[in-house]
Amino acid sequence: MTINNEFDAKNLRQAMSMFQMMSVGATKGSKNPFFKNSYADLNEVIQACNQGAQFGLSFSQSVGYKNMHHKTLNTRTDKDGNVETIESVDTTRDIFVTTTIYHAIDEETLECVVPVLIKGNEKDDPQKMGSSITYAKRYGLQALYGIGSDDDANKASGVGEPKNEVVQQEPTAPNTQITPPKTTANPSPQQAPQVNTDVTRSSY
């Protein structure tokens, strides 16, 4: 296999522009037994994303954890009629899928963090956990590469995978943010359900 070191796109922005000009779509070769329709599974989305390799694009995905702090404000009235506000903070250990796009020449990266939405009592179920992670991976790739799909509602309900019945909420739309190039490591993902993107450039 010959490795092409000459790309028309010299940086990530150019490469993404060229890729999106191709209007790449994922083949919907899988059947949803619940809604009786077709959808693009993770492998089909990956195949679509891999078409960006001709422009120097590649990607990686990883699963990680982050402690999230949830603040709640409650009020109570004492016997004298005075109202008191009580603040409580709950901490949960949430799961995220981080998708990173790389460019072969300038090492610029684009990152997207998607929360794995699953009920607390279902986190010990390997099948439901796997389905939720698979959905987050698909969503992250489609969000970064701009690959559309008309079955988002079905995927959000967890029925995009024929063997799973996990019910999920639809994550909020990704917020795209481009930051100046820097030489340090990529920043940490932000809280769910927001999807955080970040661009980092390393210089030699």
Closest CA to 158 of 136, 132, 182: 132
Cβ-based neighbours of 182, under 8 Å, separated by 6 or more: 200, 201, 202
Residue identified by tokens 């059947």 is 31
Compute the distance between CA of residue 64 and CA of residue 3 in angstroms, rounded to an integer: 32
pLDDT at residue number 170: 46
Quick: pLDDT tens for 115-125. 998 887 787 88
Task: Specify the higher pLDDT residue, 168 or 198.
Answer: 198
**Contact (Cβ atoms closer than 8 angstroms) between residue 149 and residue 142:** yes
Cβ-based neighbours of 168, under 8 Å, separated by 6 or more: 117, 118, 132, 135, 156, 157, 158
pTM assigned to the model:
0.61
Q: Where are the domains positioned within the chain?
A: 12-200
Quick: pLDDT tens for 32-84. 776 667 878 999 999 999 999 999 999 999 999 888 777 888 888 888 888 88
